[in-house]
Amino acid sequence: MEKLNFSIDFYKNNYILPAGENKFYITDKTPFFAVEDVKFYLNTIPELIKISEKEFQEKLEEYISNISHKLEEETEENIESVEDILQGSDTPVIQLLNSTFIKAIRTNASDIHFEPFKEEVLIRFRMDGVLHQIDKIPTSMYSSVVSRIKVISKLNIAEKRLPQDGRVRIKIGNKEVDMRVSTLPTVFGERVVIRLLDKANKILTLKELGLYEDDYKLFESIITKPYGLILVTGPTGSGKSTTLYASLLKLKTPRKNILTVEDPVEYQIDGISQIQVNPKIGLTFASGLRSILRQDPDIIMVGEIRDLETAEMAIHASMTGHLVLSTLHTNDAPSSITRLADIGIEPFLIASSLEGVIAQRLVRRICENCKTEVKPSEEEKEFIKKHLNIDKDFNLYKGKGCEKCLNTGYKGRIAIYEILKIDEDLRSLISKNTDSKIIRDYALKNEMRTLLQDGLRKAINGITTVEEVLQVAKS
């Protein structure tokens, strides 16, 4: 199929359509300027084939179908093609990259950063949410490194002035890892960031998320509602997708029809139909959600509510007998309600559809291999007792640093949660006022545990440190 030179709307609205090389279908309704645009674009006089309007509509539908199939095949090919990096050449550049990828996977890094500066290029890994410098390479070698990354991720090697995004699946032995590549031109060269997604990592269950028993029961009571909207909120990289997948595993039964629309589909779950967003062919969250509603779903998961159209459809679906799970980018649970109102959703619709909001952050776990007990300072004691409303004495913990945690004192991460369940009094309050402070005050009076409180509870139980909690939660 030839390249799509004009938008579908141009062809549809102007009754002109490609019919082959330098050939176009037209009808009696085709305007003069449309033919002139085609002539200008091709720099030649095309052959025009006049057909009826009915024939044109049939040809247009066939053309759109062929274009969509081609784009889907290209996307599928890009995702499914696997680059076995251990079977590459022995050139220094390829050896360097292979070594970097292997090291990143062994250390469970989530991202690899290549950062060019005047004298050198830094290689940094993001491990447990924190960047660590791993290596340096000479600037003379860097352009070859970037070219190699572009080759395996199917990016344009010649384009160095514009940002590019690509993806590739690499294979190291029996392990397959998805890589999402982003390049960005800077003063000293192209900066490259690679997100790694290990396909071998298993999806956590609800019991493995790090919820205390009381929070687990509250969470379970929210997600097992027969219908309504449930939101998981937090910044990028706070584990929202992991929580949603764990929720779907809990809800999955042969008697339920579960569909998702995601960007990207991070993990594939047997028994759940998952849709990958593809803006190139017009498959957005909103259009995907619209199509899902025609598939007789019981439970729907929408990767993210980004705009009014998606929000309206999610609210509509939740009010017509479906359980809808989605995410928002907000700082805490109560501000999610304000965010929906800011997008354009009427407060009474929020009040009647929303069942619960789960805000979360990730904190680093203390390394179990080098964990030691420490006495809290008087300030720490006072601070923790005030926020947790406890009188008893306690000790804190920290990691001394060892080989297993690369001398950081931390290994792995765990989520801290703030769970807001919507009751009838809160619905009444939301329908009258969506001010997050008023909602928060009400929730706190009804014993909602904040992110800070959940984090401090994990700190005195030896799971994380007070410093980690204070970095992600407001006091």
Q: What is the pLDDT of residues 249-303, one digit of tens each?
A: 999 999 999 999 998 888 888 899 999 888 878 888 888 899 999 999 999 999 9
In angstroms, rounded to a whole number, what is the distance separating the alpha carbons of residues 451 and 156? 44
In angstroms, rounded to a whole number, what is the distance separating the alpha carbons of residues 287 and 328? 18
pLDDT of residue 82: 63
pLDDT of residue 3: 43
Average pLDDT for 298-318 = 93
Residue type, 162: L
In angstroms, rounded to a whole number, what is the distance separating the alpha carbons of residues 232 and 327? 5
For 143-188, the pLDDT digits (tens) are 999 998 998 888 988 888 999 998 888 877 667 788 899 999 999 9
Q: Judging by beta carbons within 10 Å of its beta carbon (0-12, 13-18, 19+), is residue 33 exposed, middle or buried?
A: exposed
Write out the residue limits of the CATH 3.30.450.90 domain(s) in the chain: 82-197
Query: Under a CB-based contact definition with an 8 Å cutoff, are residues 236 and 329 in contact?
Result: yes
Give the fold, CATH level 3, of 8-71. Answer: GMP Synthetase; Chain A, domain 3 (3.30.300)
| 6 or 293: which leads in pLDDT | 293
pLDDT of residue 67: 62
pLDDT over 60 (residue 98) = yes
Confidence of residue 419 (pLDDT cuts 50, 70, 90): very high
Percentage with pLDDT > 70 across the chain: 92
pLDDT over 50 (residue 395) = yes
pLDDT of residue 52: 92
- Cβ of 108: how many Cβ atoms within 10 Å? 15
In angstroms, rounded to a whole number, what is the distance separating the alpha carbons of residues 97 and 65? 40
pLDDT of residue 443: 93
pLDDT over 60 (residue 62) = yes
108 phi-psi bin (left φ>0, alpha ψ -120 to 50, beta other): left
pLDDT of residue 2: 42
pLDDT over 50 (residue 237) = yes
Average pLDDT for 103-111 = 88
pLDDT of residue 75: 47
In terms of average pLDDT, the best of 34-43, 90-99, 437-446 is 437-446
Query: Under a CB-based contact definition with an 8 Å cutoff, are residues 450 and 360 in contact?
Result: no
pLDDT of residue 188: 93
Write out the residue limits of the CATH 3.30.300.160 domain(s) in the chain: 8-71
The whole-chain average pLDDT of the chain stands at 88
Confidence of residue 81 (pLDDT cuts 50, 70, 90): low
pLDDT over 90 (residue 6) = no
CATH of 82-197, one of 3.40.50.920, 3.40.50.10490, 3.30.450.90, 3.90.1150.10: 3.30.450.90
Average pLDDT for 441-464 = 94
pLDDT of residue 200: 62
**What SS3 string covers the chain?**
CCCCCCCHHHHHHHCEEEEECCEEEECCCCCHHHHHHHHHHHCCCCEEEECCHHHHHHHHHHHHHHHHHHHHHHHHHHHHCEEEHHHCCCCHHHHHHHHHHHHHHHCCCCEEEEEECCCEEEEEEEECCEEEEEEEEEHHHHHHHHHHHHHHCCCCCCCCCCCEEEEEEEEECCEEEEEEEEEEEECCEEEEEEEEEECCCCCCCHHHCCCCHHHHHHHHHHHCCCCEEEEEECCCCCCHHHHHHHHHHHHCCCCCCEEEEECCCCCCCCCCEEEECEHHHCECHHHHHHHHHHHCCCEEEECCCCCHHHHHHHHHHHCCCCEEEEEECCCCCHHHHHHHHHHCCCHHHHHHHEEEEEEEEEEEEECCCCEEEECCCHHHHHHHHHHHCCCCCCCEEEECCCCCCCCCCEEEEEEEEEEEECCHHHHHHHHHCCCHHHHHHHHHHCCCCCHHHHHHHHHHCCCCCHHHHHHHCCC
CATH of 206-473, one of 3.30.70.1350, 3.40.50.300, 2.130.10.10, 3.40.50.1100: 3.40.50.300
pLDDT over 60 (residue 74) = no
pLDDT of residue 68: 53
Query: Under a CB-based contact definition with an 8 Å cutoff, are residues 332 and 207 in contact?
Result: no
Confidence of residue 323 (pLDDT cuts 50, 70, 90): very high
pLDDT of residue 88: 54
Write out the residue limits of the CATH 3.40.50.300 domain(s) in the chain: 206-473
pLDDT over 80 (residue 84) = no
In angstroms, rounded to a whole number, what is the distance separating the alpha carbons of residues 475 and 472? 10
Q: What angle do CA 468, 202, 266 make, to 5 degrees?
A: 85
Q: Considering only 62-71, 236-245, 313-322, which range has the smallest mean pLDDT?
A: 62-71
For 9-50, the pLDDT digits (tens) are 778 888 888 888 888 999 999 988 888 878 877 778 889 999
What is the pTM (predicted TM-score) of this model?
0.75
For 327-382, the pLDDT digits (tens) are 999 999 999 999 999 999 999 999 999 999 999 999 999 999 999 999 998 999 99
